[in-house]
Amino acid sequence: MTSTARDTKTSGSGRAAEPGSGKRPLPYFKWEGTMAELPSTLRKLVGTRAYQNLKSAYGWVKHERRNRPSMPLKRKLQVWRRGFFAESATMYDFDRNNPAEYLSDFTRAARWRDINAHNEFFAHKLVLRSFLLAMGFRQAETLALLFEGKIVGSPFSPDAQHITPDELIRQLLSRGGSYIIKPEDGASGKDVLLLENRGGELIIRRGPEVTPFTVANLVALSAAGDPPHMTLIEERLEQDVFWRALFHESGNTLRVLTLWTPGEPAPFIARAVQRIGTSMTVPTDNWSAGGISAPVDLATGRLGPGRMRPARTAGLVATEGLPHHPENGAQISGAVLPGWDRIQDTVLRAAASLPFNRMAGWDVLVTSGGEPVIIEGNGNSDIDLFQVHGGLLADPRIRRFHEALG
């Protein structure tokens, strides 16, 4: 079952209004189905389709050389001809499931990234956060932005100003609690760190590793590279008790996929999964790094059995469905998400209000007050954490979306 955009509204104060509140609606940007072509010398020389194929083929070879799944060559060739990684054939259990119901890895690599004409708006957290704040959606407070060897404190507030490393340390210690450090343009949970105050000392956690925190390293990193790196330090939102019980050391977010079929007045929710962290992923719930993905029934908000990537399950769990968390025993299968209707409304209002959105995977954390907060959006979302629960193209509405784009 899918959901469509509901009564999309915002309050005059800039906070997103609840559906049915009678406030003015958010602006909608109807999509007619055109896809922009990104400028590239090679793309101009060989053509867009050939350029996409060449780029995807290069990435394909790198992926298969890196993963090297145990599979006979004859079987690999069969899988590759259908556009899937050898790893995917195992993950999606093509011995029992129909590959035609699955969006292929090649399609995702060669076609998906150009569906959004301005995918860079999703790739850069500062840009997306600015749009969401302007539309009245709550965001985690950004405490500092590090760029070109400098630190800007409270960059989204009227009090934004350059501060010294010592001032940043004093602010972090005085506030208490814990924080998230992340690259401004990062993806897939890469380089996301948990910053904690332990007895007046700031330490960093990433998975099982614990190291002292030094501002100097972050400042130096922000001055390196071409262009220089941007790093964000933001508050760590306290999640609601239901999600904290799933695995309390990570932020356990929902990944909600919205699609906007050309000519349709509003986007719809195509699929949703609950992501759950493990000791391997702290402070994130990233599935590729060893987290759990559990399917969400769109009609009821009920979770199905969790799944882990086969490459990440060695010594921990089998790849079959997980009714409970393998480390703490928390119930997964059969658990019902509190406030599921409110979560859907939040995602659909955001998806409908952003002029550059055609397709996105939204990461949503529900706070201790039950408020859904969009942590980030992914314009080129991973599909394996969705399709490990069944092929996307088995849903007629999702298939129509892709057929409309050729």
pLDDT at 181: 93
Question: The CATH number of the domain where 18 resides is what?
Answer: 3.30.470.20
CA distance 379 to 357: 8
If asked whether residues 229 and 246 sit together in one domain, one would say no
- Examine the domain organization and report whether 130 and 221 are in the same domain: no
Domain boundary, last residue among 214, 235, 256: 235
Which stretches does DSSP call E strand in 249-401?
254-259, 268-276, 292-295, 359-366, 372-378
Rounded Cα gap, residues 15 and 237, in angstroms: 18
Residues 277 and 213 in one domain: no
| Together in a domain, 270 and 126 | yes
Percent of the chain with pLDDT strictly greater than 70: 79
* Cα angle value 166/181/257 (rounded, 5°): 155
Contacting residues for 220 by C-beta, under 8 A, at least 6 apart: 149
Residue 250 confidence (pLDDT) = 93
167 token code pair: 């001032």
- Does 59 or 394 have the greater pLDDT score? 394
Residue 211 has pLDDT above 70, yes or no: yes
Is the pLDDT confidence value at 67 over 90? no
Supply the pLDDT for residue 318.
40
For the chain, the domain total comes to 3
Please name the helix (run of DSSP H) or strand (run of DSSP E) that holds residue 244, with its range, or none.
helix 241-246
Q: Is the pLDDT of residue 224 over 90?
A: no
Q: What mean pLDDT comes out for the span 219-244?
A: 88
| Residue 267 and residue 367 in one domain | yes
Structural domain boundaries, residue 58: 41-114
Q: Is the pLDDT of residue 8 over 80?
A: no
- Comparing 34-38, 105-109, 191-195, 337-341, the range with the smallest average pLDDT is 34-38
Rounded CA-CA distance 106/97 in Å is 18
Q: What is the DSSP letter of 113?
A: G
Containing 126, the helix (H) or strand (E) segment is helix 125-134
Alpha helices of 276-316 — where are they, by DSSP H? Answer: none
Q: Is 398 found in the same domain as 254?
A: yes
Q: Confidence band (pLDDT; 50, 70, 90) for 76?
A: confident
Q: Are residues 102 and 26 in the same domain?
A: no
DSSP state of 103: -
Query: Is residue 24 over pLDDT 80?
Result: no
Q: Are residues 314 and 171 in the same domain?
A: no
> Do 101 and 121 fall into the same domain?
no
Specify the DSSP class assigned to residue 289. T
The answer on 200 and 124 residing in a single domain is: no
Q: Per-residue DSSP letters for 145-199? A: EEETTEEEESTTSTT-EE--HHHHHHHHHHH-SEEEEEETT--TTTT-EEEEEET
Same domain, 220 and 146: yes
Query: Which has the closest alpha carbon to 309: 206, 199, 397, 383?
Result: 383
What are the respective helix, strand and coil percentages of the chain, to the nearest 5?
A: 30, 20, 45
191 and 209, same structural domain? Answer: yes
Q: What is the pLDDT of residues 314-362, one digit of tens each?
A: 444 345 699 999 999 999 999 999 999 999 999 999 999 988 899 999 9
CA dihedral 185, 191, 194, 197 (to 10 degrees): -100
Within 13 Å and on the Cβ side, how many CA atoms surround 48? 8
CA distance readout (Å), 264 to 32, 112, 135, 349: 8, 19, 22, 15
Q: Report the predicted TM-score, pTM, of the whole model to 2 decimal places.
A: 0.81
Query: What are the backbone dihedrals phi and psi of residue 137, each rounded to the nearest 5 degrees, phi first?
Result: -90, 130
pLDDT digits (tens, 9 = 90+) for 262-298: 989 999 999 999 999 999 998 889 998 899 999 999 9
